[in-house]
Amino acid sequence: MKELTVHTGRSYRIKIERGLINQAGPLIRSVSKAARAAVVTDSNVAPLYAERLRVSLEAEGFTVSLFVFEAGEGSKRLSTVARMYDHFVEHSLSRTDLVVALGGGVTGDMAGFAAATYLRGIDFVQIPTSLLAQVDSSVGGKTGVDVDAGKNLVGAFWQPILVLIDPDTLSTLPKRYFADGMAEVIKYGCIKSASLFEKVASGKAAQQIEQVIYECVDIKRRVVENDERDTGERMLLNFGHTLGHALEKRYQYQTLSHGEAVGIGMVLMSTAGERRGLTKPGCALRIEQALQAYGLPVSDPTSLKELAANAGADKKSAGHVIRLILLKEIGESYLHTIPRDGLSDFLAGGIQA
């Protein structure tokens, strides 16, 4: 078993091993004295793993209840969280009880937010089942929901007490969702680790997935430990995301997955960085090739002008400036501040947008 400790305001362990879901009960018991555990999961994941998890938790004396919501980003709303609160009350969850998030990013974000706010905060455990959640969203304590004005605009920093990553759950993921997570894996290589980038660039991540997940989580752990509240270094994790979010929004979150959009964002930002002499030449091409090795798209017909306008209107980054994440080279990233109205020009790098 691979293990890491995240040293945040409240420290916690991350354990990575194939088949780990079957050991969830004793592992959770070792960090929690709770009498009750509410397992939150979605309609896709529930039939696959919920029963196994319930048996394992009950064997450790937890009284288990199951809250299942309809799978999909569309459910990531306050109304679903409100139903979760009702479920917790109905099942008599107290301050010393526990929420277990079993599923992908939507599940973890939303169950974490419910745990952060129910009775002013109760413990929660993350059991991420998608690659995206395993390498990114389950670690670091960002929880939240979408509102009409945008994604993740309401939430809380609330660290889990334990993260259990079972790479076997990836075998049930459709190919497109595995690729979705691979865009974030490639991102970690780009921003912090040339050796991780090399390891996955040829398309062979699945063959060494436990090690790949470990390296990604270790990078995220270090970054989050330095900047839990996302005011400095943690922003580097958003490489490709400024334009990625703009692209996702441009297609009303229907056409491109998060990872697909972020991949295109990484290529566009590196291309612009190269044109401006801020990024080592050749990076954009290497990123393109790595993305293509997992069947991910590397371009989009949306004009740079439209993208820049969308990105500039991002509700999470007000003010006159916009902080871009650029690569110096593969494995090294930095923040670069430009005037908000200069994004279109920056992206075009002097070329007509």
Residues near ligand GLY (CB under 6 A) are 136, 140, 142, 230, 234, 237
Number of residues written out for the chain: 353
Closest to ligand GLY by CB, 212 vs 223, is 223
Residue nearest to ligand GLY (CB): 237
Min separation Cβ 137 and ligand GLY, Å:
6
Min separation Cβ 50 and ligand GLY, Å:
26
Pairing of strands 63-69, 36-42: parallel
E strand or H helix at 57, and its extent?
Answer: helix 51-58
Closest to ligand GLY by CB, 212 vs 216, is 216
Residue 124 near residue 141 (C-beta atoms within 8 A): no
Closest to ligand GLY by CB, 88 vs 188, is 188
Token duo for residue 1: 């078993």
Q: How many CB atoms lie within 10 A of CB 139?
A: 29
Closest to ligand GLY by CB, 136 vs 300, is 136
Residue 166 near residue 36 (C-beta atoms within 8 A): no
Q: How many CB atoms lie within 10 A of CB 40?
A: 30
Q: Is 270 helix (H, G, I), strand (E, B) or coil?
A: helix
Residue 9: strand pairing partners:
none
Min separation Cβ 233 and ligand GLY, Å:
10
Closest to ligand GLY by CB, 60 vs 230, is 230
Residue 338: strand pairing partners:
322
Distance, CA of 195 to CA of 62 (rounded, Å): 42
Min separation Cβ 167 and ligand GLY, Å:
20
Closest to ligand GLY by CB, 136 vs 215, is 136
Min separation Cβ 222 and ligand GLY, Å:
12
Min separation Cβ 34 and ligand GLY, Å:
26
Distance, CA of 121 to CA of 290 (rounded, Å): 41
